[in-house]
Amino acid sequence: MSLTLEHVSRVVDGQIWIDDANLRFEAGSFNVLLGRTLSGKTSLMRLMAGLDKPDSGCILMNGVDVTQKPVRLRNVSMVYQQFINYPTMTVFENIASPLRQAGVSQE
């Protein structure tokens, strides 16, 4: 799956959190977001996953605009560094949870 952000911006409480971001992640590639604390890594991930919506710009998956699609239709998951997803589950269970919901076999 390719993922593209085109001119994506996000403003929260009058403060610019993401400003005109343009990114492209190619299918099959390995990508890392690096930056200092509060540099916008989590904000970008939340936009890509559909947990937040950009104030401007668009997000494309395989060339299809998914900016307004709900999170459950995006086929993207994320696990936070500090486990806040499902704190009672193990790391494996947290990662496996969306795969189980999608009906992916255990193999």
* Domain around 106: 77-107
- Please tell me which residue, 55 or 75, carries the higher pLDDT value: 55
Task: Give the Cα separation of 104 and 68 in Å (integer).
Answer: 26
Assess whether 53 and 84 both reside in one domain: no
Whole-number percent of the chain with pLDDT over 90:
48
Q: Is the pLDDT of residue 25 over 90?
A: yes
The residue among 105, 50, 38, 106 whose CA lies nearest residue 78 is: 50
Total domain count for the chain?
2
**What is the overall mean pLDDT for the chain?**
88
11-21 residue pLDDT tens = 999 999 999 99
25 and 59, same domain (yes or no): yes
Q: Say yes or no: 12 and 47 in one domain.
A: yes
63, 81: one domain: no
pLDDT at position 70: 87
30/81 same-domain check? no
Inter-residue contact 45 to 33 (CB < 8 Å): yes
Q: Are residues 53 and 8 in the same domain?
A: yes
Same domain for 64 and 81, yes or no, is: no
Q: Is the pLDDT of residue 80 over 70?
A: no
